[in-house]
Amino acid sequence: MAIARPALHEGTRPRGVYTRHDIHGDTVLDADVVVVGSGAGGSTIAAELAEAGFEVVVVEEGSYYQTRDFTADTSAMVRQLYRDGGATMALGTPPILYQEGRAVGGSTVINGGMSWRTPDKVLQRWEREAGLAGITRDLDEYFTRVEKRIHVAPMDPDVIGNDNHLLKKGADAKGWNIIGNLRNQNHCAGSNRCAFGCPTGAKQSALVSYVPRALHYGTRIYADVRVDAITRHGKRATGVIGTVRGTSHRITVRAKLVVSACGAIHTPALLARSGFKSPSGYLGRNLSMHPNVKVVAIFDESVANWKGAHQAFQVREFQDQGLVFAAVGMPPSVLAMSFPHRGQQLGTLMDQYDHMLLAGMLCEDTATGRVRTIDGKPQAFYQLAEADAANLKRGVSLLSELLFAAGAKRILLPFHGAPDLYGPDDARRLLDQHIPAKGWEVVTVHMMGTARMGNDRTRDVTDGFGLVHDADRLMVADASLFPTPIGVNPMETIMALATRNAGFVIDNAKRFLS
């Protein structure tokens, strides 16, 4: 029998936050701007517009939690903060498990907090290929603004854990470029719980930065409301209509501008089920995922991967080749879940948990997938490209070499049925092995590109400020906008683009308020 647990968000809430407990019937609201989603894009644009004097309503499907609600109960956090309990899957070979936050603050509540500007080479590509002239220069001031707001800073050295020290030791031994990660944190305490809601309040997720700012300037946030559709009059978006989760109560928001900021999976689905069909045919297409794989290295010494700052370093030696490495601490339950072992084999392996280092790798992908809207719901399809699979294999080999250089004695690989590695020669031999695509265990948290921006209406879904081509008063402000994958963690890029979009709305306020 399932054990009932109380909802975590019950308690005092700041003014302006409404949850399902506050909504007792059908409700109609009026606003200048309605924003769907409260993550990196939604909370940022809401805060900027609210401060400029716009009346803003944010509608968020997830619940409202506060820092004190984030506990050491890993699976409770996953159930409450992750869409579908973290069990969403892009179909393909191999299927790719992807994770999205579903809470006020969106995925910023559960991400690692890596805060990197879009690389110049990527922005220059956007200028060339998407016709976004000047965006490299334009974004500079917005990055600076975002970094101040979410307190992007290097880590305090005293909270860097042994897993990250070992990663650095290995990179230094190989002579590879490794840098301290910039993260949105204010004296990170090193609890290594970033992925389950920061329990110390140090991570400056949208929940503790842009959301309070938006509320301070008058934004109203309706949590626990799933937006069913954007309402429209011809090509003009006129608001949204949604349902309060767990009830049949309807919420209608009438607004002069609708901003979709519910991520690269849900934005195209929302637009599609609302009848906005991009004439480019690219709505939902161009899905990039930054495929991630991980290896587990076992050391003789204690690693205690769960103590210390999450991903304090990044190995950038192979960034030009689309590969970035980091150490990511995880609770034993999550690691146990990822092993194919069972029974006493699992027990023997897990008894070495204290000696395990989990290292992950981000791959800048060349393949693109698609989000289809089936019965109103999004389903992602993504086929790992052969070139990307080869790059992942090379990355696993290199990362394993690094970990052996750091002193690892054994490495477990992210392929089904793969033998463990016991030395750098084993790691190098990996390159000669054929690993079928179906054998890979791939996950991701970076979904991008499904409503890409650009000036060509025949291939782009929105213009350079996120306004949907061939629609009126409809804007996108999330990672859907990226014309290409960016090769680094996307949060800061999303926030900078959302700030830039907000600037465009403020500069053209009369147009949007008429």
Partner 1 sequence: MSYRHSATGRAVLRSLVPVICPREAFDLADAIVDHMALTLGASPSLLQKGFAAGLLTYDLGALPRYLCRARALHGDKAERYYASWEHGPTPLHTQFARAINQLMSLSCYEMPQMMERVGYRPAPFIAEVTQRRLTVYRDDVRKQEAQILAPDPLRPNVRIGKRMRAS
- Binding positions for partner 1, 313-332, rule CB under 8 A: 331-332
Residue 201 near residue 67 (C-beta atoms within 8 A):
yes
Query: Considering the rule CB under 8 A, would residue 3 count as an interface residue with partner 1?
Result: yes
Q: Single out the residue of 191, 286, 314, 450 in contact with partner 1 (rule: CB under 8 A).
A: 191
Shortest separation between residue 172's beta carbon and partner 1, angstroms: 27
* Touching partner 1, residues 54-93 (CB under 8 A): 54-55, 71-72, 74-76, 78-80, 82, 84-88
Query: Considering the rule CB under 8 A, would residue 452 count as an interface residue with partner 1?
Result: no
Query: Considering the rule CB under 8 A, would residue 456 count as an interface residue with partner 1?
Result: no
Residue 294 near residue 328 (C-beta atoms within 8 A):
yes
State which residue, 152 or 427, has the beta carbon closest to partner 1: 152
State which residue, 134 or 347, has the beta carbon closest to partner 1: 347
CA atoms of 198 and 191, how far apart (whole Å): 8
Q: Single out the residue of 336, 385, 437, 443 in contact with partner 1 (rule: CB under 8 A).
A: 336
Shortest separation between residue 514's beta carbon and partner 1, angstroms: 8
Q: Hey, what long-range contacts does 315-320 have (CB within 8 A, 24 or more apart)?
A: 315/167, 315/171, 315/176, 315/177, 315/178, 315/399, 315/402, 316/177, 316/178, 316/179, 317/171, 317/174, 317/176, 317/177, 317/178, 318/395, 318/398, 319/487
Write each residue from 207 to 246 as x if it is in contact with partner 1 (CB under 8 A), else as -, in one continuous string.
Answer: -xx--xx--x------------------------------
Q: Single out the residue of 8, 96, 202, 271 in contact with partner 1 (rule: CB under 8 A).
A: 202
Q: Single out the residue of 28, 133, 337, 431 in contact with partner 1 (rule: CB under 8 A).
A: 337
Look up residue 141 and give its two tokens.
Answer: 């001031």
Residue 366 near residue 387 (C-beta atoms within 8 A):
yes
Task: Using DSSP bridges, classify how beta strands 313-315 and 178-180 pair: parallel, antiparallel or unpaired.
Answer: antiparallel
State which residue, 74 or 136, has the beta carbon closest to partner 1: 74
Q: Single out the residue of 277, 342, 429, 511 in contact with partner 1 (rule: CB under 8 A).
A: 342
**Which one of 9, 266, 290, 446 is the catalytic residue?**
446
Q: Single out the residue of 125, 145, 316, 372 in contact with partner 1 (rule: CB under 8 A).
A: 145
CA atoms of 60 and 112, how far apart (whole Å): 21
CA atoms of 263 and 501, how far apart (whole Å): 16
Shortest separation between residue 500's beta carbon and partner 1, angstroms: 10
Query: 466 by DSSP, 3-state: which?
Result: coil
DSSP per-residue letters across 246-286:
TS--EEEEEEEEEEE-SHHHHHHHHHHHTT---TTS-TT--
Helix 386-405 vs helix 162-174: angle between axes, to the nearest 10 degrees?
A: 100
Give residue for tokens 């790059």: 391
Give residue for tokens 């650009």: 454
Q: Single out the residue of 275, 347, 376, 436 in contact with partner 1 (rule: CB under 8 A).
A: 347
Shortest separation between residue 344's beta carbon and partner 1, angstroms: 5
CA-wise closest residue to 182 among 120, 118, 116: 116
Task: Tell me which stretch binds partner 1 (CB under 8 A): 165-173, 232-240, 257-265, 334-342.
Answer: 334-342
Shortest separation between residue 15's beta carbon and partner 1, angstroms: 13
Q: Single out the residue of 52, 173, 179, 229 in contact with partner 1 (rule: CB under 8 A).
A: 52
Task: Tell me which stretch binds partner 1 (CB under 8 A): 19-27, 181-189, 357-365, 477-485.
Answer: 181-189
DSSP letter at 420 equals: P
* Touching partner 1, residues 20-49 (CB under 8 A): 32, 48
Produce one character per residue of 151-181: b if its CB has 16 or more CB atoms within 10 Å, e if not: bbbebeeebbbbbbbbbbbbbeebebebebb
Query: Considering the rule CB under 8 A, would residue 247 count as an interface residue with partner 1?
Result: no
**Size of site (CB under 8 A) for partner 1:** 78
DSSP per-residue letters across 318-337:
TGGGTEEEEE----HHHHHH
Query: Considering the rule CB under 8 A, would residue 151 count as an interface residue with partner 1?
Result: yes
CA-wise closest residue to 89 among 381, 370, 335: 381
Shortest separation between residue 59's beta carbon and partner 1, angstroms: 20
What φ, ψ does residue 373 adopt, rounded to 5°? Answer: -105, 110
Query: Considering the rule CB under 8 A, would residue 507 count as an interface residue with partner 1?
Result: yes
Query: Considering the rule CB under 8 A, would residue 502 count as an interface residue with partner 1?
Result: yes
Question: Rounded to an integer, what is the distance from CA 314 to the centroid of its chain?
Answer: 17
State which residue, 203 or 459, has the beta carbon closest to partner 1: 203
State which residue, 283 or 335, has the beta carbon closest to partner 1: 335
233 is catalytic: no
Query: Considering the rule CB under 8 A, would residue 189 count as an interface residue with partner 1?
Result: yes
CA-angle at 364, arms to 360 and 367, nearest 5°: 120
Shortest separation between residue 207's beta carbon and partner 1, angstroms: 11
Q: Single out the residue of 13, 20, 183, 193 in contact with partner 1 (rule: CB under 8 A).
A: 193
Query: Burial of 89 by CB count in 10 Å (0-12 exposed, 13-18 middle, 19+ buried)?
Result: middle
Shortest separation between residue 405's beta carbon and partner 1, angstroms: 26
Q: Single out the residue of 353, 382, 415, 440 in contact with partner 1 (rule: CB under 8 A).
A: 353
Shortest separation between residue 396's beta carbon and partner 1, angstroms: 20
Residues acting as catalytic residues: 446
